[in-house]
Amino acid sequence: MIVKNAAGRARFNESKMGKADLGRGDHLFAGLNAFEPGQQHEPHVHCDRDKLYVVLQGRGELTIGDEVSEVEPGDVALARAGVEHAVKNTGSERLVLLVAMAPPPPTR
């Protein structure tokens, strides 16, 4: 499976973080999380899966456990299973993150 212009598939929502699936296998899920300026994904934990974030567009703030960092395109963060994590769009532009999770979450 090849996905071209992945960032162009981002879905934005005025009231909450937008999501778009890119691909799912037996052992890995990939998708996009999209944030309008000021939006955030509250702190949460995935007890049984690791989550990788890759910043594709925009700037924001990622919290992984006790670590808080401003991020920009090209930055990567890993939230290991059981570690609380959160995302906030602190910039003035839209924020798009590629998200990969293993194992994949249940089908929605």
Residue 40 tokens read as 């955030």
> What DSSP string runs through 31-61?
EEEEE-TT-EEEEE--TT-EEEEEEEES-EE
How sure is the predictor about 61, in pLDDT bands with cuts at 50, 70 and 90? very high
Residue 108 predicted with pLDDT over 80: no
- Say how far apart CA 83 and CA 71 lie, in whole Å: 19
Place of tokens 């808080």: 68
Residue 103 predicted with pLDDT over 80: yes
Question: In the chain, where are the structural domains located?
Answer: 9-101
- Say how far apart CA 49 and CA 28 lie, in whole Å: 10
Q: What is the pTM of this model?
A: 0.94
| Domain 9-101 listed as CATH 3.30.460.80 | no
- Say how far apart CA 5 and CA 11 lie, in whole Å: 13
pLDDT (0 to 100) of residue 31? 97
Q: What is the pLDDT of residues 25-39, one digit of tens each?
A: 999 999 999 999 999
